[in-house]
Every structure is written in C-alpha cells, then in structure tokens.
Structure 1
Amino acid sequence: MSAKQRTPSTFQRNALAPGLLGAAVLFTAPLWTNGGLFQVVLFVTAILAAIVAWFAGQARQWWWIPVFVAVLVLWNPVVPFPFTGPVWAAAQPAAAIVFLVAGALIKVRRP
C-alpha cells in the first residue's frame, strides 16, 4: 500500500471560522429571542460581520464588504432597529447563508 502524500493548499480561508460561527448564531437566533437574549445575537452577528468584512478586504474581494456592512447595520446592537415579524424571521437564515457562502469563497493565497 502506498501512502498518499497530501499537498498543502495554496489558499487559506480566513473568513471560514467567523462565517461558520455567524451562521450558527443566526440559525439558532429564534431560540435566543424567546429567552430574552437576542441582544447577544445582535452583538455576535455585528462583530462577526465586521471580521468577515475585514478578511474580505484583505483578500481584495471588495464586493463582500457592502454586504457585511449592511449586515452590521441591520444587526446593530447599539441602536437596534425594532424589526419583528416574518420578514425579520426570514432575514436570520438568509444572513446565515450569506455568512456560509462568504466564509467558503473568501480566500487569500498563502505566502
């Protein structure tokens, strides 16, 4: 049996971990709203959106920055918007999918 040698990738995905964390928080957001801890969801989502936007800038994938600035503004914990209802409930998983896609696509070449 010959052992397959694994060659390291020439890219690294810095936004993958914050993208996965942001998606996990947003997919579980309905559980947090009933417990009164939705402020935590707002803080975590806003912070992770800023981190992913930063990594997008480092990777020179500028088109992601306005998307995550919009997420940062909509999930703003300092002056939150009084969103409720089905549109806000649908925005949570939609933003989670955006986090997942960005985490998978934002990559930078290894030095």
Structure 2
Amino acid sequence: MKLAEVASRLSIVTATAIAVAATFAGPLTGTATAATGTSTAATKTQTMGWPTGCHWEILSWQYTGAICAENNGGWYQAIAICKNHETDKLFDRYGPWRQTGPSFAYCQAAEKVESAGYATQP
C-alpha cells in the first residue's frame, strides 16, 4: 500500500474517531479538532498513535471506568455523563488522562451516571 493511500485511510479513521469523541466528550471537540491538523505529520514520522483495544463500563451509579489494551504513545480518559436528580441537568465528568491502567470518572453527590464513554488522543 502506498503512503498516500495509508494517509488517506488514516484521515478517514481520524475523522470517524473525532466524530465519536465529539459525541461523548462535548468540550473535547476542540482538542480532537486540533489533533486533525497534526495527523499528517504523525503519519510521516510514526512517533505517536491512537490507543487501541479500548473499553468503557458503568461501574456503579456513581462512576465509570475506561481502559485501553495498547496506548501506542497516545492517551485515553473515562467520561461519565451524570444527571443531577434535583435539577435533571446533565453534566460531563472526566477522568484523568492515562497511558496505562484504568481511568475513572466520578459523578458528584446529587448526580448519578446516565451514560459513559471514553476519549482518546495521540
């Protein structure tokens, strides 16, 4: 496969990953969009990659977790979409960026987990 074909396919994969991250992450869209500009450079140098083999779970009513099998030089974080039971408002809560081990995202006292996911970056 020629380098141009690889770069083209990587751009499609990157665009898809950004769309998924935007769906789960909201405010991370700016971070993901900024990564698009550097994807060509990363393809040429192969110094950094996206995490692979990632998995997320709702671990209890209060928190979520995410982990990736391989970091490939990239980072990942857990995301919890939390609903305040007093106001019915939704809040995005983020775990720490990790390269190894689990990342946990916690809802606050009056909140419970409504949904979960994870975000990645090279």
> Could you tell me the TM-score, scaled by structure 1's length?
0.40
Higher share in strand? 2
Higher share in helix? 1
